[in-house]
């Protein structure tokens, strides 16, 4: 049996122009198509966000870094200049492929550049005024997840993937994730973020103030300590060094931009050997094993190091 799964989704594109001619197509910045893994001839659904209209079409490449999203023919009739659109393609996968499939979700800036490719978003602060969403060095970037159906659906699909569901235990439907994103954004003590690498979404991370976490009573945490939960969307990325590189980029940025005395903490499952190795490669040290409800965690800690410390080099 083959299952139809979303393969590519270009979200929040703005039509920059329309054109006449025999083509019923959409001309899209080549950089955006590459990030979404969309190729010429791929069957694509165009959704006009404000009108609720859908049309089957296909895409053609425009010059890279042009910000072009131009509609032609029937596509131009339903999506004139200024329209906000979503472009979606699907793939037919067998059961084994469908179980681990991760769609290419691409979010665009108002000028139709891949979110994160044109520079990092400004740092976000928690309600205590401390930076919890730092600027990451290229090619990494963070984007705070919005409490909207598209972001919730993306996270839900990732969290239901077998390699993440076991570790996180939050294989919730999109509706529950929508409520969870709204809750985190409202409280201001935890920031849910998408991680992109060279403009393409690769994972999800939560950065939170440890002293206000439900499990804070089990951990000896300081007032400025922050915690991180990280999930790589594609299971094929495991073992390639992507996880440790991301952990190092995030933790170093949190320490560099945070107040003096801040530490970065994580509590992976004590039996998750690959995760423990990834944290250690990123400069974390294992401080203790901490029993909490439903699991025993390994408390991983990273602190500022003196420039003279060889481990900091």
Q: Which helix (H) or strand (E) holds 228?
A: strand 226-232
Looking at residue 236, what is its pLDDT?
A: 67
Predicted pLDDT of residue 286: 94
Q: What is the DSSP letter of 160?
A: T
DSSP 83-138: -EEEEEEEEEE-HHHHHH---EEEEB-TTSPBTTTT-PPPPEE-TTS-EEEPPPPT
For residues 81 and 256, give the distance between their C-alpha atoms in angstroms, rounded to a whole number.
43
124-312 CATH: 3.40.630.30
CA of residue 34 relative to chain centroid, distance: 17
Helix (H) or strand (E) segment spanning residue 153 = helix 149-159
Q: pLDDT at position 117, please?
A: 43
Which residue ranges in the chain fall short of pLDDT 70?
A: 22, 100, 115-131, 236-239, 305-313
Q: Dump pLDDT digits (tens) for 231-250.
A: 988 776 666 788 999 999 99
Pair 225, 261: CB distance under 8 Å: no
Q: Which two tokens stand for residue 119?
A: 């520079």
The pLDDT, as a whole number, for residue 239 is 63
Give domain limits for the chain.
3-107, 124-312
Q: Is 169 helix (H, G, I), strand (E, B) or coil?
A: coil
Q: Is the pTM of this model over 0.85?
A: no
pLDDT recorded at residue 205: 95
Q: In this predicted structure, what is the pLDDT of residue 122?
A: 44
- Specify the pLDDT at position 237: 65
CA nearest 194: which of 245, 158, 149? Answer: 158
pLDDT value at residue 128: 46
Architecture of the domain made up of 3-107: Beta Barrel (2.40)
Q: In whole angstroms, what separates CA 117 from the centre of its chain?
A: 13
């Amino acid at each position: 049996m083959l299952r139809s799964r979303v393969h590519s989704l270009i979200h929040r594109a703005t039509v920059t122009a329309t054109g006449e001619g025999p083509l019923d197509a959409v001309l899209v910045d080549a950089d955006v198509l590459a990030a979404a893994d969309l190729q010429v001839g791929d069957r694509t659904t165009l959704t006009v966000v404000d009108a609720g209209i859908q049309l089957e079409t296909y895409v053609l490449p425009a010059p890279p870094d042009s910000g072009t999203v131009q509609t032609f023919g029937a596509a131009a009739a339903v999506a004139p200049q200024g329209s906000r659109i979503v472009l979606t393609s699907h793939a037919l996968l067998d059961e084994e492929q469908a179980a681990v499939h991760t769609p290419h979700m691409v979010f665009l800036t108002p000028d139709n550049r891949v979110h994160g490719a044109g520079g990092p978003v400004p740092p976000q602060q928690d309600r205590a005024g401390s930076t919890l969403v730092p600027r990451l060095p290229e090619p990494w970037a963070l984007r705070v997840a919005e409490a909207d159906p598209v972001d919730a659906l993306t996270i839900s699909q990732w969290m239901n993937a077998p390699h993440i569901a076991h570790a996180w235990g939050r294989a919730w439907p999109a509706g529950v994730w929508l409520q969870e994103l709204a809750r985190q954004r409202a409280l201001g003590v935890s920031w849910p973020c998408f991680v992109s690498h060279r403009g393409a979404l690769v994972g999800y991370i939560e950065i939170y103030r440890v002293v206000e976490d439900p499990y804070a009573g089990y951990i000896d945490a300081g007032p400025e300590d922050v915690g991180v939960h990280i999930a790589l969307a594609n299971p094929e990325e495991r073992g390639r060094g992507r996880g440790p590189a991301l952990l190092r980029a995030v933790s170093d940025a949190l320490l560099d931009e945070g107040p003096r005395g801040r530490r970065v903490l994580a509590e992976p499952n004590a039996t998750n050997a690959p995760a423990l190795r990834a944290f250690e490669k990123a400069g974390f040290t294992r401080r203790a094993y901490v029993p909490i409800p439903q699991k025993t965690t390994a408390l991983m800690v990273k602190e500022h190091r003196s420039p003279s410390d060889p481990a900091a080099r």
